[in-house]
Amino acid sequence: MSIVGHFINGKTVDAAERTQDVFNPATGEVSKQVAIAAKDTVEEAVAAASEAYKTWRNTQPIKRARIMFKFKQLLEDNAEKICALIGEEHGKISHDAMGELTRGIENVEFACTAPQMLKGEHSRNVGPDIDSWSEMQPLGVVAGITPFNFPAMVPLWMFPLAIVCGNTFVLKPSERDPSCALLLAQLLQEAGLPDGVFNVVNGDKVAVDTLLTDPRVEAVSFVGSTPIAEYVYATASANGKRCQALGGAKNHAIIMPDADMDNAVAALTGAAFGSSGERCMALSVAVCVGDEAADTFIDKMSHAMKDLKVGAYTDSSNDFGPVITEAHKNKVDGYIASAAEQGATIVVDGRDPKVAGYENGFFVGGTLIDQVKQGMTCYEEEIFGPVLLVVRAESMEQAMQMINDHEYGNGTCIFTRDGEAARYFSDNILVGMVGINVPLPVPVAYHSFGGWKRSLFGDLGAYGPDGVRFYTKRKTITQRWPSSGVREGAQFSFPSN
Ligand code: NAD
């Protein structure tokens, strides 16, 4: 059985003290093994990145950007191969894998503007014969730790920008779908990236802890579940590193009584069940304002769900695929069971769907649950499966209060025809990314991505302008070339104009 190894200093490394099974979630079978890096393997990658940094930091930004231009072309040329790998290990249907890859490529396109982003600021004559300017210098070695649910896009949020800013990078992808990261590394090498600038180590907590504590690592970008994000942020910070740690979510959509209900149902069908609900921006809670809106929504949604097609990634007519592991399937099924036990009503039950030819796959069908209330386990926790909860609110204020009270604050959306309500909502909701009749308000690559509350630990979001800030540190230089012969004596008062 093939082993997915590491990519260190421009070479594929297969050495593995330990390995772990990688499943094809559609068949439920083990398809390969992934090497689980020991501490010294991670240290080898950090050493390679540290050595490469000495030259890379001084490589002209335009030359760094040109490599990204070539990398973008190679990503497009190899799109089918990348999407097939995502399908095999994650289970995502090809149209959805293509969507994530395209979003990733947009981040590469943004990274190509590095020379413009790194220009800095300049002021002449801040004092007599004194000029001052700021420049954005790279940090050094940056580590990226990424989740299973976007094996291409989330790494692409991080390393293209970090690298064009002059840093070198060690990526630790999810051990559940590890192959995509290695292919990205090979394409970067083909694009002309010098050895050691980008490295991949596969592994688990041992690899993560090594990256979080190695003094040569200057900064850590993490994306994953909230408990791990919190741990990563605390450990990296305690070790003197800059850290951004993006965590989990529970994204609510408010359905106002005046909403275009057909539009809202169509939007939520994709946003709740697409990618099996395994998106940090999935809309997993519909808060209907008034019983009439709730009844209409439930009626139309249960009707729309009859057409949902769940199946293997190989059939592009499927809407979504399996969840990532058997353990995760059992967890999602458990949340559905707990909802019924705690008094909610299961309107459409997706447990154990029949997928012909894939009887052992980790499938959960689309599930709709009504009469969900605050305090229920299914409401308080992130399910990360194709499960849509319906909560009934008496007013918009009450609906907004629920969202503001929830521990997560990643994304949210309101469906309404009322501009005043929409504006009030976006002004007062305590969530980082807000949609108005837009179900998945994932910011484009030239904005930045980030939730509030326990969905993000750290000051800066991912990619876009925040990404440039995160992967650089400002240096401000103040310079005087005195006019001929003029010399000042010692000055004991604080310099001012
Ligand atoms: P996860 O937290 O299990 O894993 C994320 C990374 O952390 C992986 O690389 C994993 O190997 C590593 N890891 C796991 N356990 C660890 C431990 N004990 N110590 C150190 N490292 C550990 O997350 P996941 O299941 O891969 O991904 C799904 C989660 O990610 C969901 O909660 C989802 O909301 C979140 N997510 C958030 C965003 C965002 O932008 N906010 C984006 C995508 C996914």
CA–CA separation, 233 and 458 (whole Å) = 8
CA of 225 to the centre of ligand 1 (A): 4
Binding pocket residue ranges, ligand 1, CB within 6 Å: 145-150, 154, 172, 174-175, 204-205, 208, 223-225, 228, 246-249, 280, 382, 384, 410, 451, 455
To the question of pTM greater than 0.85 for the whole model, the response is: yes
CA–CA separation, 84 and 382 (whole Å) = 28
Which part of the chain has CATH 3.40.605.10?
3-247+455-477
* Residue of minimum CA distance from atom 22 in ligand 1: 205
* Per-residue pLDDT at 485: 58
Architecture of domain 3-247+455-477: 3-Layer(aba) Sandwich (3.40)
Which part of the chain has CATH 3.40.309.10?
251-436
Clarify whether 112 is annotated catalytic. no
- Give me the residues of the chain with pLDDT under 50, please: none
State which amino acid sits at residue 99. G
Mutate to test the pocket of ligand 1, among 176, 200, 221, 223 (most ligand atoms within 8 A of CB): 223
Closest of 258, 296, 387 to residue 335, by C-alpha:
387
Closest of 295, 307, 240, 217 to residue 270, by C-alpha:
307
* Residue of minimum CA distance from atom 24 in ligand 1: 147
Closest of 43, 58, 217 to residue 139, by C-alpha:
217
The CATH superfamily assigned to 251-436 is Aldehyde Dehydrogenase; Chain A, domain 2 (3.40.309.10)
* Per-residue pLDDT at 482: 74
Query: Of 83, 112, 165, 280, which is the active-site residue?
Result: 280
